[in-house]
């Protein structure tokens, strides 16, 4: 049996090598990175928040691994010099970069980070057909593609990249952190686990029979969509708002359907996702390997949020002393979209500054960062550089504690 197994392995390897050789010499089958597709981008300021006079703003595009070109707003602090730490931001689920993610990105740029807020695939100004499709795989890849872009941006220190996901994109950000070792720090705000809520319903109320009935409905919709040649949309936030609507639905309405947060390209503000988007989430759970995330994670949720259990349960699976769950007293789910008096930007800034400074650090299974021995001599020089940026003594002390454990 052992000889047979080894023979099969050798034969398989030979076949792969031969196939690879054939592919390499066949002109028509060469794999090349496709150029970005041009997008129709708006150049007027059309956000739901005013432009800060502390940042410079411009539109950028980049392509993910599936060939979809994504649109993003880049925010750079004015008078910025040298290579900057960077953060990619997206969410909420069904929103666009002109809404909450843009506000987060701009505010963090005011605090010294180069940031991008991007529209996920198939939504907003980003590419992808058909429109208004969500996918646990592709949307996780969108974050990794943002890291591709930032890693090759001349203004960015490629060793100091973080990501921030809001609502459903909090789950995608955490999922991306599990696969992308270039991400040094991840923040989730008012996180949804979209696989869980699609498969189990709110508060895990659905059982196997209910899931089966939902599958029947969604697959019947597939047939109908194919017959008509169009994709039926599920509808955005309910409008008009019923008197007996749950409080969290009223909260959504208060953001997406009013001047506070309405945007013409937002799915939640208008006609929503296509109905069959739920299928892939029901069959492909995210966060399967979140317990293997070695980089730093900060999860933020409102005390009064209906969705709080998503963050609390996801946090229980994380390992290492560089993981933190922060519950904001009195806050609901939507408060963390845009309320500057509620969103803990000081905490978020401190978190990214702390964990993005670990250039050359080696992440271990316990979640602690250890510097290689050869980096010890450079630690003093690096901390001196940090002091030169005007970072507080308190932060320095914390960073020294984190960085003070050297690789054995």
Cβ-in-10-Å burial (0-12, 13-18, 19+) of 7 comes to exposed
Residue 35 is predicted with a pLDDT of 55
- Nearest by Cα to 336 from 103, 112, 177, 96: 103
- b/e map 227-249, b = 16+ CB within 10 Å: eeeebebbebbeeeeeeeeeebe
pTM for the whole thing?
A: 0.82
Given a cut of 60, is residue 65 above it in pLDDT? yes
* CA quadruple 192, 276, 204, 144: dihedral sign: negative
Question: Directed axis angle between helix 345-355 and helix 100-110, to 10°?
Answer: 60
Q: Which residue has the higher pLDDT, 193 or 26?
A: 193
Q: How confident is the model at residue 16, as a pLDDT?
A: 43
Residue % of the chain over a pLDDT of 70: 78
Q: How confident is the model at residue 356 (pLDDT cuts 50, 70, 90)?
A: confident
Contact 45, 51 (CB under 8 A): yes
Collect all residues with Cβ–Cβ distance below 8 Å to 269 and sequence separation of at least 6. Answer: 236, 237, 256, 257, 261, 262, 263
Position 250 scores a pLDDT of 96
Domain 55-193+286-355 sits in CATH 3.40.50.10300: no
Which residue from 241, 237, 242 is spatially nearest to 334, judged by alpha carbons? 237
98-101: long-range pairs with CB below 8 Å, 24+: 98/46, 98/47, 98/48, 98/73, 98/124, 98/263, 98/265, 98/266, 99/47, 99/48, 99/261, 99/263, 99/266, 99/337, 99/338, 100/166, 100/167, 100/261, 100/337, 100/338, 101/166, 101/169
Task: For residue 170, count CB atoms less than 10 angstroms from its CB and return exposed for 0-12, middle for 13-18, buried for 19 or more.
Answer: buried
Q: What is the mean pLDDT of the chain?
A: 86
The angle subtended at Cα 142 by Cα 273 and Cα 334, nearest 5°, is 55
Domain ranges of the chain: 55-193+286-355, 362-403
pLDDT in tens, 187-234: 999 999 999 999 999 999 999 999 999 999 999 999 999 999 999 999
Q: How confident is the model at residue 375 (pLDDT cuts 50, 70, 90)?
A: very low
**Phi, psi at 61, each rounded to 5°:** -135, 155
Average pLDDT over residues 15-38: 46
Task: Please answer whether residues 298 and 348 qualify as being in contact, where contact means their C-beta atoms are separated by less than 8 angstroms.
Answer: yes
371 pLDDT above the threshold of 80:
no
User: What does the alpha-carbon distance between residue 206 and residue 271 come to, in Å, rounded to a whole number?
Assistant: 25
Please tell me the predicted confidence (pLDDT) of residue 188.
98
pLDDT in the model for residue 38: 85
Mean pLDDT to the nearest integer, 74-96: 96
Calculate mean pLDDT across residues 290-315. Answer: 98
CA dist., res. 225 & res. 232, Å (int):
7
Which residue shows structure tokens 């697959």? 219
* Residue 397's pLDDT band (cuts 50, 70, 90): low
pLDDT for the residue 405? 40
């Amino acid at each position: 049996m052992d000889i047979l197994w080894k023979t099969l392995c050798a034969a398989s390897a030979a076949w792969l090598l031969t196939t690879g050789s054939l592919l390499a010499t066949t002109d028509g089958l060469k794999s090349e990175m496709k150029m970005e597709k041009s997008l129709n981008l708006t150049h007027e300021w059309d956000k739901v928040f005013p432009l800060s006079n502390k940042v410079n703003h411009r539109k950028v595009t980049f392509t993910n691994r599936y060939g979809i070109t994504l649109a993003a707003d880049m925010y750079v602090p004015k008078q910025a010099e040298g290579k900057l730490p960077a953060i990619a931001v997206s969410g909420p689920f069904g929103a666009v970069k002109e809404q909450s993610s843009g506000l987060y990105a701009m505010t963090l740029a005011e605090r010294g980070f180069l940031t991008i807020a991007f529209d996920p695939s198939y939504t907003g100004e980003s590419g992808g057909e058909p429109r208004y499709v969500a996918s646990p795989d592709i949307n996780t890849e969108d974050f990794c593609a943002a890291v591709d872009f930032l890693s090759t941006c001349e203004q960015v220190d490629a060793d100091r990249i973080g990501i921030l996901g809001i609502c459903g994109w909090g789950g995608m950000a955490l999922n991306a952190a599990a696969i992308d070792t270039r991400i040094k720090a991840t923040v989730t705000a008012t996180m949804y686990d979209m696989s869980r809520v699609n498969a189990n319903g709110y508060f895990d109320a659905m059982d196997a029979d209910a899931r089966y009935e939902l599958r029947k409905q969604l697959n019947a919709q597939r047939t109908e969509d194919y017959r008509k040649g169009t994709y039926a949309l599920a509808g955005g936030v309910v409008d008009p708002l019923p008197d007996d609507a749950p409080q969290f639905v009223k909260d959504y309405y208060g953001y997406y359907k009013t001047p506070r947060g309405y945007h013409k390209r937002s799915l939640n503000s208008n006609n929503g996702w296509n109905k069959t988007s739920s299928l892939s989430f029901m069959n492909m759970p995210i966060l399967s390997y979140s317990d293997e995330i070695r980089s730093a994670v900060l999860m933020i949720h409102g005390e009064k949020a209906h969705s709080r259990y998503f963050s609390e349960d996801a946090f229980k699976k994380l390992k290492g002393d560089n993981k933190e769950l922060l519950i904001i007293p009195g806050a609901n789910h939507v408060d963390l979209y845009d309320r500057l008096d509620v969103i803990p930007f000081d905490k978020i800034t401190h978190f990214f500054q702390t964990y993005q400074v670990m250039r050359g650090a080696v992440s271990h299974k316990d979640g602690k960062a250890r510097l290689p021995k050869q980096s010890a001599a450079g630690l003093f020089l690096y901390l001196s550089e940090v002091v030169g940026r005007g970072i507080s003594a308190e932060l320095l002390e914390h960073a020294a504690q984190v960085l003070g454990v050297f690789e054995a």
